[in-house]
Structure 1
Amino acid sequence: MDNRTYSIKPSKQVVHLDEISRLNQIHSPLLRLPAELRNSIFAYALGASKIERCTGYSCQVCRKLKILSGSPKYVTCHFEGGLGILSTCRQVYAESKLLPFKLNTVSSRVLPLSEPSYDKFAAWQRNAITSVQIHAKMSIKSAAPNLGVDFLLQETGRLKGLERVTFVWYIRKKAINSKADWPMLRQSMLENCRDQMARLNVEIHVVTIFHSI
């Protein structure tokens, strides 16, 4: 039997960080504010934006930023707003780390049908997501694109906090019937989406975008 004793004293670095955290709570004008005011500030800084899920080599955001495969490696997602506030200190991170996922829309830009796999997100991030945007290309022959419902239900069903799903249909201009009743067609698409995704019990929206390709 090993009778040696081991020190469980925290390292000097941990003690130093704990001391910084304690001093921040005392001296930081932000951390001295009431929690409700801090939350409002965090929401203002981290909300009203969009999270673009990185899709690897085909990611349009990476290409726009001239990020090449492996140099550097692809990231989990691209956030339109700034996340710098999360790295301010440990208390700010603990209080606000869920807000980017709660207050913004997670979007994938993959055609013809986006693959909204959320595996790149940690479980606590997935569970905080409230709004997703799913992109799909409308078939020329059908006014109701194949959603791949089983797959979408499986994927979006993993998001425990999901409240809203927005479908973005891309429609070729050449496929447009000039006599089509687009308001009625759009309503039909919306009802179709709601019927197919009813098991999710979330708010459903449809956006149509016309393109020339």
Structure 2
Amino acid sequence: MATLRIETSVNRENSVTRQLTDRIIATLGDSDVVTRDIASEPLPLIDSTWASARVKPAEERTELDQEALALSDALVAEVQAADTIVISAPIYNFTIPASLKAWIDLIARVGVTFRYTEDGPQGLLEGKRVIVAFASGGTGIDSAADFASGYLRFVLGFLGITDVTFVAADQLAVDPEGTIARAHAQIDALRDAA
């Protein structure tokens, strides 16, 4: 089984989501883990060159178009090769980090990871499992102030990934020890369910 780990926390040493993803990866026991730390190595934002290149047929793409899509192609290949994707999602100002949005923008490719049909959009990344390590200081998961978890469920579903589990260490500022203990129990449940 192949696992893709997406790290997005700007905190390197004291990150709750990084600690949770460590524990999730250890619990899964997969030896084939690819890590993409997009907080340490930021991704570029999509631009007009990228947007133009992605809609051209492959045989019509110029060298500049191919260069514009090269990183996106590599990110998509990582997702396609993964059976499980573990995503860290610290909550910054009620939503996901900009780095995670940049990753989503680069992997959401019409004709590659989703397509439009007469019956509506169809995701092309079916059969994958996503585990999201969600952490916040005060935002409760699925609360009115949480603009992250619903978005992630929606966009992953749009891409065809419906097996999405959240490990929530939310409201750390209120009850840090209890919150971490509950998150660890959620991770233990992942192992027990396997």
Q: TM-score, normalised by structure 1?
A: 0.34
Instruction: Looking at secondary structure, tell me which structure has more strand per residue.
Output: 2
The structure whose RCO (Cα within 8 Å, separation 6+) is larger is: 2
Larger radius of gyration: 1
